[in-house]
Structure 1
């Protein structure tokens, strides 16, 4: 009987003796490998116990569907605590090509999404100086008789095509905001006026950004009680007529496009005015999908009960991770002074290779902290983690006029934070890049942060 390995495709091209020898060796290897596999899978000599174990394992393998991702975010209880990261845009200057810059920013956005960061602050780590090696002198030069330009005036004058290289804070802010926005809201090709983002040189290479796949980036077939939408314009009142004896409905309404087959109608207050193209979060009255979902008619969409709400409501009310907000800060001190939370950040962490090992500050750590770091509390309301640029976080402290007035400098930068940590003690590489530091830092702190879900 012919061996099944003999049924092979014959190459009619003349071969050398060496080629024939190699083929014989390959065929020999194939036969040996096949023989081993057949022997291992043969059930003739296997014991009944092994057969039963094999059958159970096979059934378990069938039950596990690996054809698509299954790690869908599952909200628990509402949470009022948040995680914020802050970093300068100057670290993007290391990349010389805009597509490489975009890839680096994508790593920050992706890390924020994976580790459920609620806020990203982009700060200027040298607010008092304009580096002529970064900003073209044509933007810095003064006209005759004109007052000296401030740094902000100079940055505002930089043309769109130069932002990626000469205004790194704005470039980072722009791309982080784009990555967080649900894809169906970024561009409206039918009506560009309703696009959250307009065509811009900074966004030319966004095809290099990874998918964020956050809970509010819903697929067309997925239902959620909350959705992100964009205001299309005013909508008529759902009441077609007013019964006698009742005042007319003075409540205003607007149409919002939020990923359903048709826009939904939501009530809007008279102040502040709701403008066309504004982004808003929509909350439906019922958590369960309507009976007509997903084949909803225009009447179904217009009459579904919904309201416009703050983007923080899905987190506060139901515990969803609902993406991150992005904020610009003119300096490191502004990260603290312009915090939007009423009582500010209640625990702050600065990162530096001169800090204590990050694990030493976590609750339950057996090692003691230095005098410049305090142990992390069991819980917090608003956590802030600050990362430095290419030269580290110390220069950002020394370059901040407000912090200098308080007597802070490079050697005393650690006193600005509750904890001053080294993310990678005994690092093998000479430097830890900012995008790497963000990933490593969030990963190291995740077990501590996750403990708040259980409280």
Structure 2
């Protein structure tokens, strides 16, 4: 099961300065980590961007997803990371193994040197880079991120393994490309115009997510997903400035709104469109539900266990 999250390049369009933009991105990274997202994709929304666009958002997200012990080597000094010190710690845990320092734990490393003898040197936060053999059939290159399983720290005993890295990966891709992936699972758009998420729907929807995986997309401040997509109509648009977070409902489900004209026309079964539109904050008490808040609200429901 793969959990992919999609956020627009206009994510921090309302931020007053770089510090506030960095803080907001940090909360998005926290949401992805808390709910064990596998991938966080930044899709283009050039019309909605202001001072900081997709390159800034992607860089800060990648930095946040990098373990602290690798950040200096991996990133050095960059203008986009001026306020990286305020990012909240992610403390991403592996699906297997013990804590980050215990025997049998896995850690992320960076290959610093590839030798001719089937061995590589890897910086994985130990006192010095360690020399490791490359397993048969595994290919690594200098600068590549790898997973290291540590069985002992004194003396150091470790090996390269092909298990997924803890935390999430970050990429930039068009929305159509992200929705068309083979592992996209249930493709969900969040919007205040979507079907209200109710207790009766959570069980079925969460079950589909557990079995099929999911791709969940979120909008930007004052600019929801309908405004970013061609071919999606909203017949009754809410007053300007009123915005909120939301989700989607199974396309095969019958709408419970009795034909409310404020609902979105869902183009189901199209490879570049969503299966579901859902409002996960149906009774919001604030005129504004920020993107990062909508992420926590949505993922808390969609990832519920049986």
- TM bucket (normalised to shorter chain) is 0.7 to 0.9
Which moved further from structure 2: 113-122 or 378-387?
Answer: 378-387
Instruction: Find the partner of 1:202 among 80, 98, 108.
Output: 80
CA distance in structure 2 between the aligned counterparts of 1:327 and 1:361, rounded to whole angstroms: 31
TM-score, with structure 2 as normaliser? 0.77
CA distance in structure 2 between the aligned counterparts of 1:306 and 1:96, rounded to whole angstroms: 46
Instruction: Find the partner of 1:228 among 97, 108, 117.
Output: 108
CA distance in structure 1 between the aligned counterparts of 2:39 and 2:209, rounded to whole angstroms: 21
Q: CA deviation at 1:176?
A: 1.0
Decide whether the 8 Å contact of 1:171 with 1:202 is kept in 2: yes
CA distance in structure 1 between the aligned counterparts of 2:83 and 2:62, rounded to whole angstroms: 14
Give the secondary-structure state (helix, strand or coil) at the position aligned to 1:356.
strand
CA distance in structure 1 between the aligned counterparts of 2:185 and 2:303, rounded to whole angstroms: 18
Q: 1:221 to 1:305 in 2, by over 3 A?
A: closer
CA distance in structure 2 between the aligned counterparts of 1:206 and 1:375, rounded to whole angstroms: 34
Aligned to 1:393: 225
Q: Highest Rg: 1 or 2?
A: 1
| Structure 1: tracts of 5 or more residues without a match | 1-80, 135-164, 188-194, 236-249, 313-321, 365-373, 399-407
Instruction: Find the partner of 1:274 among 111, 131, 141.
Output: 141
Instruction: Find the partner of 1:309 among 143, 158, 162.
Output: 162
Give the secondary-structure state (helix, strand or coil) at the position aligned to 1:259.
coil
Decide whether the 8 Å contact of 1:122 with 1:328 is kept in 2: yes
CA distance in structure 2 between the aligned counterparts of 1:375 and 1:207, rounded to whole angstroms: 36
Q: CA deviation at 1:221?
A: 4.7
Aligned to 1:335: 178
Q: Deviations over 1:253-309 (max 9, x none)?
A: 11112123443322347995621x33211235xxxx43xx4xx2xxx43xx351253
Instruction: Find the partner of 2:187 among 344, 348, 373.
Output: 348
Give the secondary-structure state (helix, strand or coil) at the position aligned to 2:11.
helix
CA distance in structure 2 between the aligned counterparts of 1:381 and 1:176, rounded to whole angstroms: 26
Decide whether the 8 Å contact of 1:350 with 1:414 is kept in 2: no
CA distance in structure 2 between the aligned counterparts of 1:439 and 1:266, rounded to whole angstroms: 39
Q: 2:92 aligned with 1:214, yes or no?
A: yes
Q: 2:34 aligned with 1:84, yes or no?
A: no
Q: 2:293 aligned with 1:436, yes or no?
A: yes
Give the secondary-structure state (helix, strand or coil) at the position aligned to 1:196.
helix
CA RMSD of aligned residues (A): 2.8
CA distance in structure 1 between the aligned counterparts of 2:120 and 2:294, rounded to whole angstroms: 44
TM-score, with structure 1 as normaliser? 0.53
Q: 1:230 to 1:444 in 2, by over 3 A?
A: same
CA distance in structure 2 between the aligned counterparts of 1:362 and 1:444, rounded to whole angstroms: 7
Q: Deviations over 1:383-404 (max 9, x none)?
A: 1111112211101212xxxxxx
Q: 1:323 to 1:378 in 2, by over 3 A?
A: closer
CA distance in structure 2 between the aligned counterparts of 1:363 and 1:413, rounded to whole angstroms: 24
Instruction: Find the partner of 1:176 among 61, 82, 99.
Output: 61
Q: 1:229 to 1:378 in 2, by over 3 A?
A: closer
Decide whether the 8 Å contact of 2:189 with 2:218 is kept in 1: yes
Within 5 A, what are the aligned runs for 1:39-438?
81-126=1-46, 134=50, 165-166=51-52, 168-187=53-72, 195-215=73-93, 221-235=101-115, 251-268=117-134, 274-275=141-142, 277-284=143-150, 289-290=151-152, 293=153, 296=154, 300-301=155-156, 304=157, 306-309=159-162, 311=164, 322-329=166-173, 331-337=174-180, 339=181, 343-359=182-198, 360-363=200-203, 377=208, 379-390=210-221, 391-398=223-230, 408-411=231-234, 414-415=266-267, 416-438=273-295
Q: 1:442 to 1:220 in 2, by over 3 A?
A: closer
CA distance in structure 2 between the aligned counterparts of 1:86 and 1:234, rounded to whole angstroms: 35
Q: CA deviation at 1:378?
A: 7.0
Q: 1:305 to 1:422 in 2, by over 3 A?
A: closer
Decide whether the 8 Å contact of 1:220 with 1:259 is kept in 2: no
Q: CA deviation at 1:206?
A: 0.8
Q: CA deviation at 1:376?
A: 5.7
Indicate the structure with greater helix content: 1
Decide whether the 8 Å contact of 1:387 with 1:393 is kept in 2: yes
Q: Deviations over 1:156-185 (max 9, x none)?
A: xxxxxxxxx24x211111111111111000
